């Protein structure tokens, strides 16, 4: 693609290279403010026969050209950068990506509950697989640790440990083992090394390793026992990931040049937006995004401006479908399919989805298998993420704003299903504004913020996300399924009243359209908490959406009936209530 200096950033093109799909989004100034213009997409072409991701990007740009009538490619099929005198092309190009296999990584550090814990939180922001850990409590002999480096042939080694001003001899001994391991590997197979430990050791580590491999340094991720500093290390990790991928994924180095190095892990770009959105909110109110892809799932939680980001690089609904199914007992998956299915049938389904990730189910029973797969990936990722959340959020997940992203959300047969997927995975308490990221805006805007922060703010203010509606979760306690736990009355802006008796184990949707608000009164029975304490009624203003106002009375945790016939009826009833499908 053509390489030209950026003179201004009034037209921004953001690309996302996913495992299955490549998407592009165009932002431009309209009437003095940045606006989202349109998107284009095409299958990702990292695998044979193309083995060149730039081809998939060109196809996506061709789709964008057809949609907008704006020329993005020149006669040589290269991106026009910057905008031409005729108004073609863009001023800035940024990119996010989750394509490619997870980066094999060895983690080196001192204490599992201190430096290694912080380093893992940094690694959770990218698509990596920790294949081994060298630590102070490692009982292997020195030669065994060296053998581990040679055997695993990691693509990256991350070194953490040592508080500022602390002891350093133990960490340097571990780095020496990495040094010998790198020496024994062929030059083309040596891992890149990211150091995020005691800053006093940066020069020593660099001197030991830079003649063997590329060394990257970030500020100490755990400068004191009580304090973490993760964001600078996450930013440097993104650079290492970009360089590793550029070496192993065809066409990526050329795109990296066009993006002027502005290439970020998709999860990190989304996470930065979640962190930004959470800054004005007081704890314990939190914001969460769920991104479900073909190969991986990410969970980003923003709490008072702090980011808690977890990537599950092995849980997805396409190329990782089989791994998603085998990561849990078979019964946990089969219970979410009406009528159930055998383990052999489940494995066959996983293999089919892995081989044909773009398959659209043609029958209801096949669709329920897809729903169960989506739930499995999301719930597995949330379970991993929850372990890293602050204790108060683990005990009471009070998410006031939730976003679903990725094809299973944006391409759901009905937006109500996207809302149900979020509720099933998060099982929040209180009131949650559910939103759909149908055009993959969070990642695009998170990357665009690096070239023009104003664009991000203005696009967010113009409806980048699609509101599904407010969801209110009722804690039903020990009430039997089917008993009325609460009465709900919704009065819209025109004075039209909707009343419903909410039963334990049910989902209810009250009509309230997009951009509308209403007054909702909940009157729970004794012992039932509808959000204002057990048995206490209250009235609050709620916002509508393309689904409406959702009342979730399935309890926490959500429990399915043990009887298979009743369980099948319940699953079908939930889908009907949320989508009429």
Tokens of 345: 């049938």
Question: Of 77 and 38, which is predicted with more confidence?
Answer: 38
pLDDT tens readout for residues 108-162: 999 999 999 999 999 999 999 999 999 999 999 999 999 999 999 999 999 998 8
Q: What mean pLDDT is reported for the chain?
A: 94
pLDDT tens readout for residues 405-426: 999 999 999 999 999 999 999 9
Question: Of 377 and 100, which is predicted with more confidence?
Answer: 377
Domains of the chain plus CATH, in order, are 12-97 (3.30.420.40), 103-247 (3.40.50.360), 268-579 (no CATH)
* pLDDT on residue 7: 40
Confidence of residue 329 (pLDDT cuts 50, 70, 90): very high
pLDDT tens readout for residues 10-31: 899 999 999 999 999 999 999 8
* Side-chain-facing half-sphere of 67: CA atoms under 13 Å: 14
pLDDT average, residue stretch 539-550: 98
Question: Of 298 and 161, which is predicted with more confidence?
Answer: 298
Give the DSSP letter string of 260-312: TT-EEEHHHHHHHHHHHHHTTSPTT-EEEEEEE-SS-EEEEEEETTEEEEEEE
Q: CA distances (Å), 515 to each of 173, 245, 260, 497, in order?
A: 61, 42, 39, 18
* pLDDT on residue 267: 96
pLDDT tens readout for residues 196-224: 999 999 999 999 999 999 999 999 999 99
> Per the confidence metrics, is the pTM higher than 0.85?
yes
Which of 474, 455, 304, 303 is closest to 394 using CA atoms?
A: 303
Whether pLDDT at 2 is above 60 = no
Question: Phi and psi dihedrals of 116, rounded to 5?
Answer: -65, -35
* pLDDT on residue 438: 94
* pLDDT on residue 270: 97
Are 263 and 97 a contacting pair, CB within 8 Å? Answer: yes
- Residue 47's Cβ-count burial label (10 Å; 0-12, 13-18, 19+) is middle
* pLDDT on residue 4: 38
- CA 350/CA 362 separation, integer angstroms: 16
Tokens of 111: 């204490």
pLDDT average, residue stretch 516-544: 95
């Amino acid at each position: 693609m053509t390489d030209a200096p950026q003179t201004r950033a009034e037209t921004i093109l953001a690309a996302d290279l996913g495992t299955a799909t490549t998407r592009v989004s165009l932002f431009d100034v309209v009437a003095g403010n940045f606006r989202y213009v349109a998107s284009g997409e095409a299958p990702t072409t990292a695998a044979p026969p193309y083995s060149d991701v730039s081809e998939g990007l060109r196809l996506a740009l061709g789709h964008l050209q057809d949609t907008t009538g704006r020329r993005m490619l020149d006669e040589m099929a290269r991106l026009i950068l910057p905008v031409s005198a005729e108004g073609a092309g863009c001023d800035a190009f940024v990119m996010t990506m989750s394509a490619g296999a997870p980066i094999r990584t060895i983690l080196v550090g001192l204490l599992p509950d201190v430096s290694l814990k912080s380093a893992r939180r940094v690694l959770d922001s990218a698509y990596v697989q920790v294949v081994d850990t060298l630590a102070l409590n490692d009982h292997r002999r020195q030669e065994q640790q060296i053998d581990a480096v040679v055997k695993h042939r990691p693509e990256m080694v991350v070194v953490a440990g040592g508080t500022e001003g602390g002891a350093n001899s133990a960490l340097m001994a571990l780095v020496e083992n990495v040094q010998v391991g790198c020496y024994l590997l062929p030059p083309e197979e040596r891992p890149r090394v990211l150091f995020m430990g005691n800053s006093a050791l940066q020069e020593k580590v660099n001197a030991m390793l830079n003649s063997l491999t590329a060394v990257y340094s970030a500020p100490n991720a755990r400068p004191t026992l009580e304090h973490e500093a993760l964001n600078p290390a996450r930013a440097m990790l993104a650079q290492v990931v970009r360089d590793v991928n550029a070496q192993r994924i065809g066409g990526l180095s050329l795109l990296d040049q066009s993006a002027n190095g502005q290439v970020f892990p998709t999860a990190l770009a989304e996470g930065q937006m979640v962190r930004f959105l959470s800054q004005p909110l007081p704890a314990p109110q939190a914001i969460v995004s769920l991104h479900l892809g073909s190969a991986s799932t990410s969970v980003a939680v923003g709490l008072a401006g702090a980011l808690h980001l977890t990537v599950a690089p092995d849980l997805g609904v396409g190329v990782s479908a089989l791994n998603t199914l085998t990561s849990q007992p078979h019964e946990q998956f089969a219970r979410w399919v009406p009528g159930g299915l055998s383990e052999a049938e489940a494995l066959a389904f996983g293999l089919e989805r892995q081989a044909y990730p773009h398959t659209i189910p043609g029958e209801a029973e096949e669709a329920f298998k897809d729903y169960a797969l989506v739930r499995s990936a999301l719930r597995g990722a949330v379970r991993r993420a929850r372990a890293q959340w602050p204790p108060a959020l683990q005990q009471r997940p009070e998410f006031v704003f939730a976003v679903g992203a990725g094809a299973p959300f944006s391409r759901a047969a009905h937006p109500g299903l996207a809302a149900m997927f979020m509720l099933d995975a998060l099982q929040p308490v209180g009131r949650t504004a559910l939103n759909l990221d149908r055009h993959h805006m969070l990642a695009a805007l998170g990357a665009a913020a690096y070239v023009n922060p104003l664009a991000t703010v203005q696009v967010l203010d113009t409806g980048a996300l699609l509101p599904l509606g407010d969801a209110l979760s009722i804690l039903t306690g020990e009430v039997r399924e089917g008993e009325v736990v609460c009465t709900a009355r919704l009065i819209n802006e025109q004075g039209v009243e909707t009343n419903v008796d909410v039963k334990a184990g049910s989902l209810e949707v009250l009509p309230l359209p997009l951009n509308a608000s209403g007054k909702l009164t909940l009157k729970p029975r004794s012992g039932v908490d509808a959000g204002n304490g057990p048995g206490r009624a209250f009235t609050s203003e709620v916002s509508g959406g393309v689904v409406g106002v959702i009342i979730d009375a399935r309890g926490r945790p959500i429990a399915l009936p043990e009887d298979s016939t009743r369980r099948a009826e319940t699953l079908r009833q939930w889908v009907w209530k949320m989508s009429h499908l």
